[in-house]
Amino acid sequence: MATRIVAEWGRLRKVAVHRPGFEMFLGLLNPKASLYERAFNQELAENEHDSLRNALHDQFGVEVVVLREQLSALSEKNPKLRKRLLMAAMDRIEFKGSEADARLAKNEMLCSTDSFDSSYFINIIMLKPSMSARKGTGIGAVHINITERDPMSDLYFMRDQQVVTDRGIFMSRMSTPQRAAETTLTRLLWEAMGMPVIGEVSAPGRLEGGDFMPLGDFALIGTGERTNTDGARQLLKYGQSFPEVSIVHQPRNPLFHYPPGEPMSDMHLDTYFNVAGKGVAVGSESLLRLATVETYFKEGDSYVRSRGTSNLYDYVKSKGFGIIGLSPLEQLSYASNFLCISDGKILAVETKSTIGKTIINLERKAAKDKGRYANALRMAKREYAKLVSSGSAFPHKRELRENGIEAYSIDLSNITGGYGGAHCMTAALQRG
């Protein structure tokens, strides 16, 4: 089956994931600088990721490719791939100290590469270590200093490093320095698996996979915090061939005082909009009405913009979709970041396990910046009482059942602290 996706509700056949490890530990040393929403329990987060993978494979029959395991196994069988891993690792590692000492350390490593397993090189690529050594007093005394620089603490959000369209894999260009090198590993994986890359975004374009939504005879590309207009237009021109594509501009979340607002609260399209099946959308109604849309139609080999603009709510309704609304608290708790398994079947974040952590996080932020977060905190506490008393927190909503949606939920209350749910953590490779 080809690596291409036409509709988000097509039967999910194959996904790629990255199980987080030591790089997550490093990220949690400074969650904000690592682009995490909040601190969380790493051991429980890793267990939650295991549960997600197991559910996909055991319950839904999805083929799950684990990045490190697959790339390491393939490179052990393929000398050319192993050499590419080595070269990528050498580009990421730094040897410091005197010129002679640094050269000696580098040469010693190069002379020892046959002794290392391929996973060793993957670790170097992920952690970007800088190493220096200096002699101490006493026989054989050496002081070693190893610093990790921009470790790939967000790599487990495997949706973002690429977009999979009706034409194939189109590589992203990540918007932050913390994530810039992640595409090095994912591109190696796709090529090692025989999945051709049809193109990639070039500067000054930025594009991340959480901003793309294929919907049958049309597609959506979100822009804003992570994907810019230039990146969206490159994808429009080179990366897909839907007859109609609409660029969605990220709305400003009205819950947060502006400026500066809270652009991370809806940084990707899939953080406030998703589809649970053909003709059934899920999203924050307030944000959908604020998100402006410009539509392009394919004419020959290019796209021509239509006159006028719309908002995402009206646009999706005009396409025949019913919209199941999310409350602001559900949206902040990753309710829309579910993974569609097939038409009318979804694997969702168990929101009732996440909203408590969302409120605690808002309380901490409001204590530091009341003007910016007080309104959101008041809303969250008010909605929390309502959702708990009614037992209707997503995905336990009557509207889902009425629309024939079969919802399965999973506790991801810790790992969502990195700023994403099941949709963000999975690179969907094959549907249909």
96, 127, 148 — which closes off a domain?
148
| CB within 8 Å of 344: residues ≥ 6 apart | 9, 276, 277, 278, 280, 404, 405, 406
Q: Which one-letter DSSP state was computed for residue 7?
A: B
Q: Is the pTM of this model over 0.85?
A: yes
87, 120, 148 — which closes off a domain?
148
The 10s digit of each residue's pLDDT in 151-163 is 999 999 999 999 9
Predicted confidence band of residue 139 (pLDDT cuts 50, 70, 90): low
Residue 294, φ and ψ in degrees, nearest 5 = -120, 130
Residue 313 predicted with pLDDT over 80: yes
Is the distance from CB of 308 to CB of 432 less than 8 angstroms? Answer: no
58 & 86 share domain: no
Predicted confidence band of residue 86 (pLDDT cuts 50, 70, 90): very high
371 & 314 share domain: yes
| CB within 8 Å of 218: residues ≥ 6 apart | 242, 243, 244, 245, 246, 319
User: Is 3 a domain residue?
Assistant: no
373 & 393 share domain: yes
223 & 89 share domain: no
148, 170, 202 — which closes off a domain?
148
Predicted confidence band of residue 334 (pLDDT cuts 50, 70, 90): very high
Predicted confidence band of residue 4 (pLDDT cuts 50, 70, 90): very high
Inter-CA distances, 221 with 149, 233, 246, 385, 418, Å: 31, 9, 6, 35, 23
Helix intervals (H) in 235-320: 285-290, 312-318
389 & 265 share domain: yes
Residue 327's domain comprises 12-66+152-431
User: Is 117 a domain residue?
Assistant: yes
* The two three-digit tokens of residue 294, written as one number: 């410009």
Inter-CA distances, 184 with 39, 252, 274, 380, 425, Å: 27, 32, 28, 39, 18
The 10s digit of each residue's pLDDT in 395-407 is 999 999 999 999 9
172 & 87 share domain: no
Chain position carrying tokens 């959506």: 220
Residue 1 predicted with pLDDT over 90: no
- CATH number of the domain that residue 387 is part of: 3.75.10.10
pLDDT value of residue 141: 67
Residue 138 predicted with pLDDT over 90: no
